[in-house]
Amino acid sequence: FVLIMVGTLLAFWIFNRYPAKVFGGDTGSLAIGGALGAIAVMGRLEVVVIIAMIPFIMNAFGIIGSVKGLLERREMARPTKMTKDWKIESTRDKKAPITLVGLVIQKGPLHEKDVVKTFNVLTIVSAILAIVIAVLTNLSGVVS
């Protein structure tokens, strides 16, 4: 199951690199999240997967907390917009959700590649933390 998932994500990544030709959307995100959840439960790695997913969990809680519940995308103001020089900037709309992208561009507009690099760094740091936790819990015998 894990190898199938890795192969699928590798193929998706090839077509989703900059400039993206394929977009997973909400359905793809939910499928990947569901598969990660299943892998975590089957492998008894729930805590490790949660730590690896910290950036995405922060993003979700930021959105849910700022709009005070679960809303459809059409019910919320857009949190970001493009400038004339193709940079991403915050809209400063009070009705817009607080997102991780919004926090990254808080100091000023950034190019899409810079936002992606920041997300990659956050994801790599949380993945390293997850690996460290996995190794430490296996060494201490917490996870058998």
* pLDDT above 90 (res 69): no
Residues 62 and 92 in one domain: yes
Dihedral angle over CA of 1, 34, 133, 8, nearest 10: 50
How far, in Å, CA of 23 to CA of 38, rounded? 23
Q: What is the pLDDT of residues 46-66, one digit of tens each?
A: 999 999 999 999 999 998 888
Residues 37 and 72 in one domain: no
Domain total of the chain: 2
Residues 61 and 10 in one domain: no
Q: Which domain holds residue 39?
A: 1-43
142 confidence band (pLDDT: 50, 70, 90): low
* pLDDT above 70 (res 22): yes
Angle at 11 (CA atoms; ends 119, 46), nearest 5 degrees: 55
Residue with tokens 């817009």: 96
Domain endpoint, select from 43, 59, 76: 43
Encode 112-126: b = buried (16+ Cβ within 10 Å), e = exposed.
eeebeebbeebeeeb
